[in-house]
Amino acid sequence: MADYQAPLRDMRFVLHEVLQVSKLWAQLPALAEVVDEETANAILEEAGKITAGVIAPLNRASDEEGCVWADGVVTTPAGFVEAYQAFADGGWVGVGGNAQFGGMGMPKVISAQVEEMVNSSSLSFGLYPMLTAGACLSINAHASEELKQAYLPNMYAGVWSGSMCLTEPHAGTDLGIIRTKAEPQADGSYKLTGTKIFITGGEHDLTENIIHLVLAKLPDAPAGPKGISLFLVPKVMVNADGSLGERNALSCGSIEHKMGIKASSTCVMNFDGATGYIIDAPNRGLAAMFTMMNYERLGVGIQGLATGERSYQSAIDYARERIQSRAPGGAVAKDKVADPIIVHPDVRRMLLTMKAFNEGGRAFSSYVAVQLDTAKYSEDPTTRKRAEELVALLTPVAKAFLTDLGLETTIHGQQVFGGHGYVREWGQEQLVRDCRITQIYEGTNGIQALDLVGRKVVGSGGAFSRHFTDEIRAFASAADAPAEFSEPLLAAVAILETQTTALLERARDNPREIGAASVEYLHLFGYTAYAYMWALMAKAALGKDAQEDFYTSKLGTARFYFARLLPRIHSLSASVSAGSDSLYLLDAEQF
């Protein structure tokens, strides 16, 4: 496998030339004080060094070794403890954390680039700081000042880590039926009892303490999701002076043996009267959890992008070096017995598809991150509200579409290698295995599609989606919009709007229509969103292609996307139009 190198040039292009984030930062006082273009570039440069030099070399061997569980103790693969210490010492765990408690205070659009680099270097490794950052988000937004002071500094510093304990053996998507109980105590704490499964980083040897955020129900809680509360439950109790005390009444019962991400500990966690502290008010656990979820689901989407990027870097190196057969138009490498496989049309199709999805995904994930930053930091209520609604709309698309395309991309990378792609030593099959989970956890992609169509499109009467399509129309209709890209972009938006209107109408009479159309609708939305990103990037590159190959490559990839990938929307549109009837032609026993 090729050595990983962070795509810093493309990241800078997206941030500064396409999205022009410095203009946004200047308008947001909370960000203007902490970040500018020079600071952002320096952070990305340093992140590129530690991910390529320290973390990426561990990826292959850590997959072979995996995590080991013995008597409740989890040991991570060789090199992980030292790499995590170096990562934490650099302040990377708290890159987006509240500066008041020791975080860097960087905007999400910067931490998103860091996340991509970490997950490209090793998705298993990246899950540990990701879950810590997610737990910190909820604590920072909803916990008492006392809990923030006691826990956030050590979590941002990487001395302690975090986990999110949601799923139970009988309750995955339907959290309303969880059974974990929280009994109030006289001192204001709670005793939690129950079992949680699929807990990423629930137990490991990377940090001296693990801070679990646990969903549970109080004895008098109402039934369903409205009766869920969120609790902070430390692995090791924290004394009043900040030192560590006794072990809490919780344990890791086992770890899962998985298809991929084998160096990430996925734990069964047992809480046996463990001491915990409520976050926010009783029965407001889901609200506190969803503060984290918008960030985490974008983060999972970035994992799909990250594995695709790592796969592409290996595939392009291999395609330039591997010689097989002659080019269709005659010998290219006349001094060799055959030509590099990059001359062959099908190999170029796969490589260009990978490149178009990766670079489009980087632009789109950064665009969503900008909306998160605007929603968090804008002082204008109208601007903030619009950004919040865009975040709500685009989060399920970012999670599902980026990961669906991430799997397609890693499979293309494996295919470029031919038989060697199926052999473990080349690393491509690991990326396929690792990427596969991203379509499942943090809400399966089918659930994301239901969320998009049911809650965000139908639930808002189409208002949320109009924010996005109106913005695209304004861009594509502007006098300086390049017609080569704006005309097909407008055509794609027209198809999306037609299907949105039709779906809104059908859903009024038949509730099955939402679920029947949701996955194809999400993909139709995703390809249109990527078309917008590629039109933005093409506009930024036009006129500069004579200066640098980077811009020539960008324009060529944009043209490939519009010619070969955007047309997928036509079959997706037909599927959305087909409705739900064909899904219900068979009785259950006829399957």
- pLDDT tens track for 259-298: 999 999 999 999 999 999 999 999 999 888 888 888 899 9
Residues 44 and 117: their CA atoms lie apart, in Å, by 9
CA distance 367 to 448: 19
Q: How confident is the model at residue 1 (pLDDT cuts 50, 70, 90)?
A: low
Give SS3 for 231.
Answer: strand
Q: Which of 232, 229, 221, 242 is nearest to 274 (CA)?
A: 232
Distance CA 37, CA 35 (A): 7
Model's pTM, two decimal places?
0.97
Stretch 439-466: mean pLDDT, rounded?
A: 97
Q: What proportion of the chain, given as a percentage, has pLDDT over 70?
A: 100
The Cα 361–Cα 18 span in angstroms is 14
Lowest mean pLDDT segment, chosen from 235-239, 288-292, 560-564: 288-292
Reduce the DSSP state of residue 35 to 3 states and report it: coil
The three-point CA angle 232-233-236 to 5° equals 135
Task: State residue 450's pLDDT score.
Answer: 98
442 part of the active site:
yes
Is the model's pLDDT at 329 over the cut of 70?
A: yes
Residue 346: CB partners within 8 Å, gap ≥ 6?
Answer: none
Tokens of 511: 């509730």
Q: Cα–Cα distance between 95 and 97 in angstroms, integer?
A: 6
Q: Are 416 and 319 in contact (CB under 8 A)?
A: yes
Strand ranges inside 236-377, DSSP E = 236-238, 244-247, 250-255, 266-279
Three-state DSSP string of 71-119: CCEEECCCCHHHHHHHHHHCCCCCCCCCHHHCCCCCCHHHHHHHHHHHH
Residues 516-540: tens digit of each pLDDT: 999 999 999 999 999 999 999 999 9
- The token duo for 587 is 């009785």
Amino acid code (one letter) for 385: K
Give Cβ neighbours of residue 510 (< 8 Å, ≥ 6 apart). 579, 580
To the nearest whole percent, how much of the chain has pLDDT over 90?
96
Given the structure tokens 């190198």, which residue do they identify? 5
Round to whole Å and give the CA distance between 165 and 497: 39
Give the dihedral sign, CA 254/119/121/81. negative
At 241-258, the pLDDT tens digits run 999 999 999 999 999 999
Give the CA distances from residue 142 to residues 60, 165, 234, 563, in Å, rounded to whole numbers and listed in that order.
Answer: 39, 17, 17, 47
On the question of pLDDT at 130 being above 70, the answer is: yes
- Given 115, 203, 309, 442, the catalytic residue: 442
Q: Is 497 helix (H, G, I), strand (E, B) or coil?
A: helix
Predicted confidence band at 554 (pLDDT cuts at 50, 70, 90)?
A: very high
